[in-house]
Homo-oligomer: A and B are copies of this chain.
Amino acid sequence: MISNKCKYAIKALTYIARNDDGTKAVMTADIALAQDIPRKFLEIILRDLRNNRILESKRGKDGGFRLLRPAEDISLTEIMRIIDGPIAMLPCVSLNYYRSCDDCNEAQCEVKSVFEQVRDRTLEVLNGKTIKSLILN
């Protein structure tokens, strides 16, 4: 399962991508209302995305958020890794968050290869998806 937080992040980004008309930043309150996300929780998520160079923010009146890059250059996997961490089902098969298993000898682990296959199939789907491709439904 991905967290609600991660789903909110994705939905917020699609809303920003769709609604940034080039004249002004997109406000938290508008996103929260349109996408049904708790406002204060959304604030945290958006700041998190800004700290990870997905968004830029503008403070003060007429402030808000904007994509720091074109929507087609923001992949789903990047968002998922920022918000939830590893995508893989076992730490020992994670490409970006590898950790060894204390309780098994990886060379002879029976489960590792299965979850490597799951990881590869999952990434086949996710690697091609961007904020841009999501809003072209």
A residues with CB within 8 A of B? 1-2, 7-8, 10-11, 14, 35-37, 76, 86, 88-91, 101-104, 108, 110-111, 113-115, 117-118, 121-122, 124-126, 129, 134-135, 137
Contact = CB atoms under 8 A, between A and B. Distances in A.
Main secondary structure of the interface of A (DSSP, over half): helix
Copies, count? 2
A89 to B, nearest CB: 5
A10 B111 contact: yes
Q: Which of A14, A102, A114 has the most CB of B within 10 A?
A: A114
Given A86-B1, A89-B1, A76 B114 contact: yes
Given A103-B36, A104-B11, A126-B118, A113 B137 contact: yes
